[in-house]
Amino acid sequence: MEITLISIVIKTAVVHTVTYLIVGALAYHIFNYPRLFADTELRYFMRQISHPLVKFGVIFQPIRGIIFGIVFFILRHSFFIVNNGWLTMWIVLVCLSIFSTFGPTPSSIEGIIFTKLPLRVHFIGLPEVLLQSFLLSSLLYYWVNNPQEQWISLIMWSLFIIAIASQIIGFFKDRNKK
């Protein structure tokens, strides 16, 4: 099996976008993001749910997926060739993208040290990012290592198209309200 840059980048963009939408939608409802972003200390840090960039955030996720995909390709041997490479990928994502970011983001060491957010606020979004990164790692590993399994391609591409189409439809729906 040959793992190419283009296949990794495209599959990563698709899986990242799909898992971002699904886990984000779950977190939105479970943690009541409209209230959380309006009534807690996050109101000073996060845009409100009604802000256009937040409402259409999914449309930008393929860009992030492409960036992840480039890095995943560089580390393809450790992530896709070896057994349990998905676990290595997840640990790398958790360590570098969640806990040890270069900037002071919530749930990161820098965020806990340098922001005024209470400690409890740093832990509110942690389940969401841990679950999304876990699903990204495990689903991508499976898809890359099982290209003959058409069902995963069908599901991932269908969900990706629905995600992007819903954002585009939402954009035009909001424009027509004005």
Give me the pLDDT at residue 42, please.
Answer: 78
The answer to whether residue 172 scores a pLDDT higher than 90 is: no
The answer to whether residue 49 scores a pLDDT higher than 80 is: no
Classify residue 96: in a domain, yes or no.
yes
In this structure, the chain runs to a length of 178
Classify residue 177: in a domain, yes or no.
no
The answer to whether residue 46 scores a pLDDT higher than 90 is: no
The answer for 46, left when phi > 0, alpha when psi is -120 to 50, beta otherwise, is beta
What is the rounded average pLDDT of the residues 61-81? 97
What is the rounded average pLDDT of the residues 158-164? 96
pTM: 0.91
Classify residue 26: in a domain, yes or no.
yes
Classify residue 60: in a domain, yes or no.
yes
- Cβ count near 34 (within 10 Å): 12
Average pLDDT, the chain: 92
Q: pLDDT category, 71, cuts 50, 70, 90?
A: very high
Q: pLDDT category, 1, cuts 50, 70, 90?
A: low
Q: Is the dihedral of CA 70, 72, 78, 81 positive or negative?
A: negative
CA distance to 12, 38, 61, 83, 123, per residue, from 64 (Å): 9, 26, 5, 26, 23
Split into its structural domains, the chain has a count of 1
What is the rounded average pLDDT of the residues 54-74? 94
% of the chain exceeding 70 in pLDDT: 99
Burial of 84 (0-12, 13-18, 19+ CB in 10 A): exposed
Distance (Å, whole) CA 67 – CA 88: 18
Domain that includes residue 81, residue range = 5-172
